[in-house]
Amino acid sequence: MADDADRPPLDGVNRRTFLTVLGGAGAGAAVASCTVPPETIIPYVIPPEETIPGVATFYATVCRECPAGCGMLVRTREGRAVKVEGNPAHPINRGGLCVRGQASLQGLYNPDRIDGPRQRTRRPGSADRGVLERTSWDEAQKALTDKIRNLRNTGRADHIAVITPLVTGSLDTLVDAWTRAIGAGRRLRYEPFAYEAIRAANRLTFGQDAIPTYDFARARVLVSLGADFLETWLSNVGYARDFAETRTLHGDRKGLFVHVEPRLSMTAANADEWLALEPGTEMFLVLGMIHVILGEKLAMALPPAEAEGLSRLVKDYSPEQMAGRSGVAADKIRDLARTFCNPQAGPGAS
């Protein structure tokens, strides 16, 4: 002990430095000891015969992120979907896939996704909406069956509401048959990107209860009234490919595209001419166009009785009057009507 006391201290090391180093070493050891040891995740104990480890397997399916229904190829590795791409053999998108389709894979892995049945519970006498609590499939099916049986036995089956997303084909037929079988009321379809207004307009105009498909590739003059088909309208992936066909030179000319919309959208930015009218005034611009078409007898194929009736309808909607309502100059309305009825005359032609 006497020898240790007489020994001189180490250069640069004092009690404070020693305790600092000791504390840092202890903290590092504690953090390292808390690390979760790596584990090997085996997706298959007995894999299917067609699955080869390390080799991707592709499955064809249909994207349901919007009503367009683009074809997709899902790339899987050892039973896990890792990437989605457009299906080149699908007639709608022909290999393309929008950002919503690309992001659909996150529905499988998002930690906040609903991965099982939920049942809403409310406190007795409370006016709040309650909370959604996790329940098992057996409990959910029993609760649903008991509710349906009780409503049917008491003659209140029409109080049952069947709500589904957009489904088609045999699944749609099956859901309709089940709805009728339990005596439920009207079936409701919930779709954030719904186009029922277009379906109704097509039924009133052409007598077909369907969402139309437009052949952009064969159009020589394309006039779009607020249809942002390169971003959000109907099948933006399919229409983008068809629109590219209209930009291809056929002989010495290509198709003309005029877009009418208040906002400078992606579709408006790709138009040959963008008419920025006042919001909600598309009807007045169209009435001004019809006034010019009938007044200058540009629609010769129209039956005389219909032409006379339309002339009376639009007699007070001259381009000058509609310019004040729509914000589009009268000369622009006249030029658009003439171009629409004379597809042979492209930009700069007469």
Asked whether residue 8 is domain-assigned, the answer is no
Q: Answer whether residue 8 shows pLDDT above 60.
A: no
- The Cα 52–Cα 349 span in angstroms is 62
According to the model, what pLDDT value does residue 112 have?
86
For residue 262, tell me if it sits in a domain: yes
Residue 5, in any domain of the structure: no
Of the candidates 128, 127, 130, 110, the residue with the CA atom closest to the CA atom of residue 119 = 130
CA-CA distance, 248 to 280, in Å (whole number)?
33
DSSP per-residue letters across 170-206: HHHHHHHHHHHHTT---EEE--TT--HHHHHHHHHHH
Q: Please state the rounded mean pLDDT for residues 124-132.
A: 73
What pLDDT is stored for residue 30 in this prediction?
A: 56
Q: Is the pLDDT of residue 151 over 80?
A: yes
* pLDDT(114) > 90: no
Are residues 214 and 237 both part of a single domain?
Answer: yes
User: Is residue 184 a part of any domain in this protein?
Assistant: yes
What does the DSSP 8-state code read for residue 250? B
Among 101, 125, 33, 44, CA closest to 238: 101
Same domain, 87 and 162: no
For residue range 207-250, what is the model confidence (pLDDT) as tens digits?
A: 988 888 888 888 888 999 999 999 888 888 988 888 888 877 66
pLDDT band for 131, please (50, 70, 90 cuts).
confident
Give a yes or no: residue 14 inside a domain: no
Are residues 166 and 187 both part of a single domain?
A: yes
Same domain, 95 and 182: no
Residue range 162-189: mean pLDDT, rounded: 86
Q: What is the mean pLDDT of residues 195-217?
A: 86
What pLDDT does residue 288 have? 94
Q: Which residues contact 120 (CB under 8 A, 6 or more apart)?
A: 129, 130, 131, 132, 133
The CATH number for 69's domain is 2.20.25.90
Q: Do residues 207 and 323 both lie within one domain?
A: yes
Task: Identify whether the C-beta of residue 57 lies closer than 8 Å to the C-beta of residue 64.
Answer: no
Tell whether 176 is covered by a domain: yes
Considering the domain architecture, whether residues 240 and 335 belong to the same structural domain is answered as: yes
Q: Do residue 179 and residue 209 come from a single domain?
A: no
Among 174, 195, 216, which residue terminates a domain? 195
Residues 181 and 204 in one domain: no
Does residue 345 carry a pLDDT above 50? Answer: no
Domain that holds residue 66: 57-109
Output 341-347 pairs: Cβ under 8 A, ≥24 positions apart: 341/293, 341/298, 341/299, 342/298, 343/220, 343/221, 343/256, 344/220, 346/220, 346/253, 346/254, 346/256, 347/256, 347/272
Q: Is residue 62 part of a domain?
A: yes
In this prediction, residue 268 carries a pLDDT of 93
Name the amino acid, one letter, at 219.
Answer: A
> With bands split at pLDDT 50, 70 and 90, how would you rate the model's confidence at 300?
confident
Q: Is residue 41 part of a domain?
A: no
Q: In this structure, are 189 and 205 located in the same domain?
A: no
Distances (CA, A) of 156 to 11, 175, 178, 187: 92, 20, 17, 16
Residue 137 has pLDDT above 90, yes or no: yes
Out of 195, 212, 234, a domain closes at: 195
Buried b (16+ CB within 10 A) or exposed e, 208-245: eeeeeebebeebebbbbebbbbbeebbbbbbbbbbbee
Q: Which of 41-45, 127-131, 236-240 is most confident?
A: 236-240
- Whether residues 210 and 186 share a domain: the answer is no
- Judge contact between 261 and 268, C-beta under 8 A: yes
Report the pLDDT averaged over residues 39-49.
72
Q: What percent of the chain has pLDDT over 70?
A: 84
**Which stretches does DSSP call E strand in the chain?**
57-62, 71-77, 80-86, 118-121, 131-134, 162-164, 187-189, 221-225, 256-260, 273-275
Cβ atoms of 208 and 109 within 8 Å: the answer is no
- The answer to whether residues 291 and 335 belong to one domain is yes
Radius of gyration for the alpha carbons in the chain, expressed in angstroms and rounded: 33
Report pLDDT for 224. 93
Boundary of a domain, candidates 195, 213, 243: 195
Q: Please count the structural domains in the chain.
A: 3
Contacts of 268 (CB under 8 A, 6+ apart): 228, 259, 261, 274, 276
pLDDT tens digits for range 306-339: 888 888 888 899 999 999 999 999 999 999 999 8
Q: Do both 318 and 235 map to the same domain? A: yes
Global pTM? 0.67
